[in-house]
Homo-oligomer: A and B are copies of this chain.
């Protein structure tokens, strides 16, 4: 046989595909419920990851002009989801952060996963449960590494 490796890759790929689909459907619902566009949700999640960002970073991340972001930020500030204030370290720059409401919304978005993850965990036997813990611990570390290289705007900003 040509190794378990290929089989594992297949399984993992399928797993990723399925979870991604479920997530997409949930996100769609979430966006409609809260009257958010994909760009809005994307921005809120980005700001959440960054902790705090500025117009330039966000523009890079979204792949649009600063002008576009400036205007979008207007709207998100109007809806009380984010705050925009002068950066004391560089008064040209604005600090964009999640407001209390915005943070709450992001947390609520994360909560949608809690609807199906426990079901998944429940499908394993006690013995597998233990193995799975170890395995996911390792893979999560790896995923974090992969993720590091994925938000260059954030790391660049924190130099």
Contacts and interface: CB of A to CB of B under 8 A. Distances in A.
Contacts of A118: 9
Contact residues on A (Cβ < 8 Å of other chain), bracket: 35 or more
Contacts of A121: 5, 8-9, 12
A79 interface: no
B117 A128 contact: no
**Stoichiometry, copies per complex:** 2
Given A63-B28, A150-B21, A150-B22, A143 B131 contact: no
B128 A63 contact: no
A100 interface: no
A5 B151 CA distance: 32
Contact of A138 (B128, B133, B141): B128
A83 B143 CA distance: 38
B16 A113 contact: yes
A147 B22 contact: yes
Main secondary structure of the interface of A (DSSP, over half): helix
Given A5-B129, A117-B9, A132-B8, A15 B124 contact: no
A132 B10 CA distance: 11
B142 A135 contact: no
27 contacts: A4-B130, A5-B121, A5-B129, A8-B136, A11-B133, A14-B136, A15-B140, A17-B113, A19-B20, A19-B143, A22-B143, A22-B146, A22-B147, A24-B45, A38-B38, A116-B146, A120-B139, A120-B146, A123-B139, A123-B141, A124-B135, A124-B139, A128-B131, A128-B135, A128-B138, A131-B135, A132-B135
